Structure 1
């Protein structure tokens, strides 16, 4: 059948090969499965885990700061921050991923794209820290690959600028940068924790695998400050600085027995809740960092040295006429001729001539030793960052004019806190306390800086300063005996003293018989025609300490005649 088509025969060996291949395929697949699941399982699982398991940090809650009555002064609130994996976001499926996130953040899409493209080599980049909850919710709702939220904490200061200089502030990572936030950062910060998480191919967390380390929250800090008195001090100081167009000012209020600082404020102030307020000149705590020549507020210590040496008594007569004297060819003068004064009258009228006459009658070094006993020229030990030591010469000077100027508060420098500590010794029967800002901080035993009887005598003499005829009648508090001293010193500049630039200070205590409060008010460069401390600084003391006496229910101690005194407007040098 030559014309018929024939089907070619398949060689038997070919069929055998095909059958063998079909039989070998399941065996190969089974062998591969065994290899993947059994022999290489652990290795491959580890490789997979490396691509999908991540370790994330768990932020620790920063400890709070509270006043002596438990009122919050600094707290940390949980917030969300937005971060991205730049490469993943740029390669996100679909279009407009960056445009959508830019719209939520109020950013220009082109600028945001440029920012992300510049960081494609990284796997982590913050888009925005500490966003509002509403913004965080909108970002989460977008569900974009490579865009994540991270829980952090933001510091908040309920009292704002009232406590800003004492507390300082933290940076965006919640670490202390100034003030007590810096000084006690390790105490407040705590220790962050860590957890291992499983992520999907889009980089989203789908499972918390394990906690590697629990976060350890920071410890709370309780201060000696009384928030009520802190606010009153802030209000009164701010009003005075504005009224007299001053460059700044400071107030320190403390308990003379314990050394606890009840209020410490400065002007100009800053609000630590507003980053724009945090500029170099505004956030320093002037009460502990700024020094100046205190002027006549040093005169009580001059009198103390003379009384201790037995050179004078409170009733010793001092001739100050004609209101001017010369020492080593240099002239020292009073604002007017006070005539003959008692030693108490020298304080009452704030006579420079009288103070110099008393000091020059002492052995060289007598006044210096008294000031050294009161720790002038040394830090107070309050452990505040940037505290200044002030200046007192290392050895007493034998030069007559330097001895003379020291008698009325020139030739040394001090901070407002150092002055408050010195006056606390007068208030606490000669015991010099260690100023404290931390409630539970162990207090060192006070040093006896002068005899108790001498301190009591000084308090009696200083009461005259706030009574009619004295330089600080504006510091008088009806119903209470107030002891204190004014000081109006010229500001030192290169080459001498600046014309028309003064620092006005009032330092005092109440009730005078058994002082519960010591306060020092410093007004820096009051403008206009009024610059004497009795006009500028004394009223701030009066408002603050009268409020403190009322809030602490301290009973009046003045005689009925004293309570009826009319408070007159006074002035001082």
Structure 2
């Protein structure tokens, strides 16, 4: 372009355009400078001022603090045999929104966790707005691994423990159960929850955005396993007791039953069986009635098994001897408008014969001659009407009415086992006073390191007299003869009590009982058997409960290596 043209172009530009161009440039420069300044301030803010917060937010999306499951303590029998153990299991959970939407993958997942596809889809839909849902709880590690091997997004695993009971229904009501979170819910599992439960640990882990474990970062706290619990129960005796009790309940079409066997040396419970029971390892369709430990939590009117305990009160007064004669004619008596019967008219009976014949009239005549408080004080000293203090949840107190308002008929009824209530365990504990020189031993469900002192209830000579009297009650021809054990001297008492209901006593509904001690020469075990509502042809304690005592006690004496104390006829000759 020629110099003339350039000059001509410059002359055509407006003079006002030059200042505008200079202002626009300055504005752009200012904007850039301000933006760089703001960016610099933000960088300073992020790296210096908010660094701790942001780092924490970042770690929260990658670093996790996880709980380490604690191994629950083992429950063992007195010989160290496991009764309750915890085994490792795996719980599968999912993030609903992360689960694959593909039908094929959903079907693979449903089959792997043994769930119907429609049920799985409905479950995912129900939890769609949440970040967590269970797929299956407490799978075996092998079964869980088969699911994880599908490598589906949103599926995660958590290691847990599940309680397993090797003895199943045999010890179910005594041990109780834990829930799905391995916390005690019933029985000794609940009573000793704090001791058995461990203390969970903690670890820091690195996970990706899907929650999958990348690596362990740091162990923050070790998991502490729970403490073990050693029971007084002998698993061998427990199996025998449960087997014989269950057989008797079935044979007599009974509603249920309970059995308690106590070591007379220290008060330890060697066996405690209940029927009906349940399998704690498979609770599908479980009958809630089977959860009850009847031997401890249920009470009943004991009937004639109370007569030896009432007799101990009479002998303690010094006014009666085993050969004291009581006239029971004519076999019935009226008191306060009530009629008391014997099986038949036994006429004149000694105190020993009153126990052997189980005479209600004989016991009533004795009780009516005693002071107002004598029976109550004796029953109270024997632990009746009070909790056994075993620590078992829901253990029953039973009841013995105070003597302030006793009528004559009430006093008579208490002497032959009506008008009061006891549990099977309380009754067995009371009988230890007869077996242990008048000293009652408090029962224990845990193995003891030392024998307790016990409570001296009556003189040793009275206990010896009662043992001799009760031994006669199991001789051939006596009501308790079916409790006999070959090779051993047995002392015991039968009982048959009518079942009460809100309107009075039920018709043709009974409890059959037997309380016994073996061997007489040096008592080692006390056993009480109660069969609830036998509906067969037999319902008397001597016919229903005594044979159970015989079989269980005979096996127990041999297993405990107790030497026989009864000579055979051949040895005597």
TM-score, structure 2 normalization: 0.89
* 1:562 positional shift: 10
Q: 1:115 aligns with which of 109, 115, 123?
A: 123
> After the TM superposition, which residues 242-253 of structure 1 pair with which residues of structure 2 at under 5 Å, given as runs?
242-253=250-261
**Aligned residue number for residue 376 of structure 1:** 384
1:195 aligns with 2:192: no
SS at match of 1:466: coil
The 10-residue stretch of structure 1 (556-565 or 382-391) with the greater mean CA deviation from structure 2: 556-565
Equivalent residues of 1:505, 1:537 under 8 A apart = yes
**Aligned residue number for residue 56 of structure 1:** 66
**Aligned residue number for residue 262 of structure 2:** 254
Q: 1:78 aligns with which of 81, 88, 113?
A: 88
SS at match of 1:507: strand
Instruction: Determine the C-alpha separation between the residues in 1 that align with 2:552 and 2:570.
Output: 20
1:280 aligns with 2:262: no
**Aligned residue number for residue 10 of structure 1:** none
Equivalent residues of 1:489, 1:503 under 8 A apart = yes
The 10-residue stretch of structure 1 (435-444 or 219-228) with the greater mean CA deviation from structure 2: 435-444
Equivalent residues of 1:293, 1:410 under 8 A apart = yes
**Aligned residue number for residue 47 of structure 1:** 57
Instruction: Determine the C-alpha separation between the residues in 2 that align with 1:120 and 1:310.
Output: 82
Greater C-alpha Rg: 2
Structure 2 gaps, min length 5: 3-21, 23-28
Equivalent residues of 2:190, 2:393 under 8 A apart = yes
Instruction: Determine the C-alpha separation between the residues in 2 that align with 1:143 and 1:415.
Output: 57
> After the TM superposition, which residues 174-189 of structure 1 pair with which residues of structure 2 at under 5 Å, given as runs?
174-189=182-197
**Aligned residue number for residue 443 of structure 2:** 435
Instruction: Determine the C-alpha separation between the residues in 2 that align with 1:541 and 1:460.
Output: 19
**Aligned residue number for residue 319 of structure 2:** 311
Instruction: Determine the C-alpha separation between the residues in 2 that align with 1:61 and 1:249.
Output: 35
Q: 2:401 aligns with which of 393, 398, 420?
A: 393
SS at match of 2:291: coil
Equivalent residues of 2:95, 2:133 under 8 A apart = yes
Instruction: Determine the C-alpha separation between the residues in 1 that align with 2:311 and 2:390.
Output: 28
Instruction: Determine the C-alpha separation between the residues in 1 that align with 2:49 and 2:426.
Output: 77
Equivalent residues of 2:376, 2:402 under 8 A apart = no
Equivalent residues of 1:478, 1:563 under 8 A apart = no
1:412 aligns with 2:420: yes
The 10-residue stretch of structure 1 (333-342 or 529-538) with the greater mean CA deviation from structure 2: 333-342
Equivalent residues of 2:201, 2:221 under 8 A apart = yes
* 1:285 positional shift: 0.1
Instruction: Determine the C-alpha separation between the residues in 2 that align with 1:562 and 1:182.
Output: 54
When the two structures are aligned, how many residues end up with a matched partner?
543
Instruction: Determine the C-alpha separation between the residues in 2 that align with 1:425 and 1:504.
Output: 22
Q: 2:558 aligns with which of 543, 550, 556?
A: 550
SS at match of 1:462: helix
**Aligned residue number for residue 490 of structure 1:** 498
Query: For each residue in 1:427-475, what CA deviation from the matched residue of structure 2 results, as whole angstroms up to 9, or x when unmatched?
Result: 1111111100112488753111111111111111100010023110000
Equivalent residues of 2:488, 2:566 under 8 A apart = yes
Equivalent residues of 1:311, 1:361 under 8 A apart = no
Structure 1 gaps, min length 5: 3-12, 14-19, 566-573
1:461 aligns with 2:480: no
Say what the alpha-carbon RMSD is for the aligned residues. Answer: 2.6
**Aligned residue number for residue 217 of structure 2:** 209
**Aligned residue number for residue 9 of structure 1:** none
Q: 1:344 aligns with which of 329, 349, 352?
A: 352
Instruction: Determine the C-alpha separation between the residues in 2 that align with 1:51 and 1:316.
Output: 89
Instruction: Determine the C-alpha separation between the residues in 1 that align with 2:300 and 2:571.
Output: 35
**Aligned residue number for residue 102 of structure 1:** 110
Instruction: Determine the C-alpha separation between the residues in 2 that align with 1:229 and 1:533.
Output: 22
**Aligned residue number for residue 326 of structure 1:** 334
Instruction: Determine the C-alpha separation between the residues in 2 that align with 1:281 and 1:523.
Output: 16
**Aligned residue number for residue 175 of structure 2:** 167
Equivalent residues of 1:365, 1:397 under 8 A apart = no
Instruction: Determine the C-alpha separation between the residues in 2 that align with 1:38 and 1:383.
Output: 60
Equivalent residues of 2:81, 2:235 under 8 A apart = yes
**Aligned residue number for residue 142 of structure 1:** 150
SS at match of 1:207: strand
* 1:120 positional shift: 3.0
- The structure-2 alpha-carbon separation of the partners of 1:211 and 1:325, relative to structure 1 and needing over 3 Å to count, comes to same
Instruction: Determine the C-alpha separation between the residues in 1 that align with 2:217 and 2:407.
Output: 78
SS at match of 1:282: helix
- The structure-2 alpha-carbon separation of the partners of 1:553 and 1:138, relative to structure 1 and needing over 3 Å to count, comes to same
SS at match of 1:263: strand
- The structure-2 alpha-carbon separation of the partners of 1:440 and 1:140, relative to structure 1 and needing over 3 Å to count, comes to farther
Instruction: Determine the C-alpha separation between the residues in 1 that align with 2:570 and 2:467.
Output: 16
Query: For each residue in 1:135-191, what CA deviation from the matched residue of structure 2 results, as whole angstroms up to 9, or x when unmatched?
Result: 212111011221011100000000000010100000000000000000001100111
**Aligned residue number for residue 19 of structure 2:** none
- The structure-2 alpha-carbon separation of the partners of 1:210 and 1:266, relative to structure 1 and needing over 3 Å to count, comes to same
**Aligned residue number for residue 236 of structure 2:** 228
Instruction: Determine the C-alpha separation between the residues in 1 that align with 2:529 and 2:187.
Output: 21
- The structure-2 alpha-carbon separation of the partners of 1:498 and 1:373, relative to structure 1 and needing over 3 Å to count, comes to same
Equivalent residues of 1:102, 1:108 under 8 A apart = yes
The 10-residue stretch of structure 1 (210-219 or 439-448) with the greater mean CA deviation from structure 2: 439-448
Q: 2:247 aligns with which of 232, 239, 259?
A: 239
Instruction: Determine the C-alpha separation between the residues in 1 that align with 2:378 and 2:57.
Output: 76
- The structure-2 alpha-carbon separation of the partners of 1:396 and 1:446, relative to structure 1 and needing over 3 Å to count, comes to farther
**Aligned residue number for residue 279 of structure 2:** 271
Q: 2:484 aligns with which of 465, 468, 476?
A: 476
**Aligned residue number for residue 523 of structure 1:** 531
- The structure-2 alpha-carbon separation of the partners of 1:393 and 1:93, relative to structure 1 and needing over 3 Å to count, comes to closer
